[in-house]
Amino acid sequence: MDKFVYIDESGSPILDKDYYVLSACFISHDSLDKTLDRRNQISREHFSGSEIKSSSIGGNFQRRKNVAQSLSGLDARFEVLVIKKERLAENGGFRFKKSMYKYCQRRLFQKIYRGFDNIGVIVDSFGDSEFRAGFEKYIDRHYQPTLFSSKSLTFATPTEQPLLQLSDFVAGTVRRYFNRDDDPSAFNFLKSIINNLEIWPRAVDDESIISPDEELDTLVRNHCAHVAEEYLVSNKDPVLSEAVEFLLYSSAADNAGFIFGDLILEHLQQMGLVGHERDKGWLRQSVIAPLRENGVLIAASREGYKIPENLDDLDHFVKFVSNKTIRYLERVVMMRDSIYYGTKLRHDMLVSSPELQKLLRPLAVNNG
């Protein structure tokens, strides 16, 4: 196996107002021994050699911060899925604990299997043996290995697989951060090893109870997100799907900011979907452009990209395009006019592009 992934959870899959967090720790085969040695060292320093467990720290924030600081140098990367359970319908299928668990794990497995062909997944034991056997079949149905891939799924306890304890601590610390149980310092230490933090489901505002001043912003936010999610349902390209999910669900997107192209590219690389030779030019041409051509609504600015959430995002995008485009078009018109008159009105250089000629005709001095 090229990669190993250790998955643990924090919180309960039962619907309430709390958060349910899944953490997946990605470790390359070459780094396994080093990471295990580091785990043992942290265990000795902070847990007297016993299990690294978030719940054993509880509200001792200083201790949690010290452990997080020790973990920040790990040669491992984490994918974290934060479920805001209050956004899920109480009368839907997720009211059943095992249904919630299966679906959330499937979302995580989708990311794991999308970018890696040879990977071993170890999941903290959940439920009885009958449920675990059924869950394995459930994952197998959705993620069949190919002739050139090797994928394994194993259930284990944190004692049997000590590296599960790293995911336990990260999941617990992230959950306490979102519940606002702790100061953000411990969470901030973990940011260096969290490759992506996805928040699901996205917020959908009830259009019937919003104020008139917020109505257009709400319509824009709901429409753009709906279009993106419709694309995810129908599209099978792993790179384009991962980029849309990152724009739609990542913590950066949840904070309503534009996301730098470098971050999107780094995420795709960390997920094993693209090589490190790819640059932002490739991202624009091979990811953002085809997504837009397929109807995904992506705004851009000097700060990066985002799924629009309000009128300000649309205005930023229009001004960004205008600042880049109008000057080029004006220069084309100036050159066209100069050539047109220099050839005694005999040659209009725009004839080679009827579409551009039609677009620029109102700007020309003599539009023929």
Q: What is the mean pLDDT of the chain?
A: 84
Q: How confident is the model at residue 44 (pLDDT cuts 50, 70, 90)?
A: very high
- Better-predicted residue by pLDDT, 195 or 102: 195
281: pLDDT strictly greater than 70? yes
96: pLDDT strictly greater than 50? no
129: pLDDT strictly greater than 90? no
Q: Which of 37-46, 148-157, 237-246, 305-314 has the lowest mean pLDDT?
A: 148-157
Mean pLDDT of 198-212: 61
Q: Report the distance separating Cα 3 and Cα 192, nearest Å.
A: 19
Q: Report the distance separating Cα 20 and Cα 45, nearest Å.
A: 29
Predicted pLDDT of residue 83? 84
Phi and psi for 71 in degrees, rounded to 5? -75, -20
Letter for the amino acid at 105? Q
Nearest to 43 by CA among 164, 126, 157: 164
Letter for the amino acid at 137? K
Predicted pLDDT of residue 45? 96
Q: Report the distance separating Cα 301 and Cα 254, nearest Å.
A: 17
Nearest to 117 by CA among 243, 239, 1, 269: 1
User: What's the pLDDT tens digit per position in 245-276?
Assistant: 889 887 655 555 789 999 999 989 988 899 99
Give the N- to C-terminal CA distance of the chain in Å, as an integer.
Answer: 68
Q: Report the distance separating Cα 8 and Cα 171, nearest Å.
A: 7
When mean pLDDT is compared over 54-58, 83-87, 134-138, 359-363, the highest value belongs to 54-58
CB 176 within 8 A of CB 182: yes
Nearest to 67 by CA among 169, 159, 192, 174: 169
| 8-state DSSP, 259 | B
Give the domain 3-200 fold. Nucleotidyltransferase; domain 5 (3.30.420)
Q: How confident is the model at residue 204 (pLDDT cuts 50, 70, 90)?
A: low
- Better-predicted residue by pLDDT, 6 or 151: 6
Letter for the amino acid at 147? L
Residues forming a β-bridge with 83: 20, 200
Mean pLDDT of 186-215: 74
Phi and psi for 76 in degrees, rounded to 5? -155, 160
Pairing of strands 150-156, 3-10: unpaired
235: pLDDT strictly greater than 80? yes
Phi and psi for 301 in degrees, rounded to 5? -155, -175
Q: Report the distance separating Cα 182 and Cα 229, nearest Å.
A: 33
Predicted pLDDT of residue 93? 45
Determine if the peptide bond prior to 201 is cis (ω within 30°).
yes
Mean pLDDT of 329-356: 90
Query: Does the pTM exceed 0.75?
Result: no
Q: Which of 79-88, 204-213, 237-246, 332-341 has the lowest mean pLDDT?
A: 204-213
Predicted pLDDT of residue 94? 46
HSE (side-chain half, CA atoms, 13 Å) at 300:
13
Q: Which of 77-81, 204-208, 353-357, 359-363 has the lowest mean pLDDT?
A: 204-208
Predicted pLDDT of residue 100? 61
Predicted pLDDT of residue 286? 97
Please state, for a pLDDT cut of 90, what percent of the chain lies above it: 43
Predicted pLDDT of residue 69? 96
293: pLDDT strictly greater than 90? yes
Residues forming a β-bridge with 199: 82
- Better-predicted residue by pLDDT, 46 or 180: 46
Nearest to 165 by CA among 52, 34, 39, 6: 52
Predicted pLDDT of residue 117? 75
Predicted pLDDT of residue 92? 46
Predicted pLDDT of residue 50? 96
Mean pLDDT of 197-222: 70
| 8-state DSSP, 203 | P
Predicted pLDDT of residue 153? 84
Q: How confident is the model at residue 142 (pLDDT cuts 50, 70, 90)?
A: low
Instruction: Kindly compute the dihedral angle of the four CA atoms of residues 321, 327, 329, 334, in this order, to the nearest 10 degrees.
Output: 170
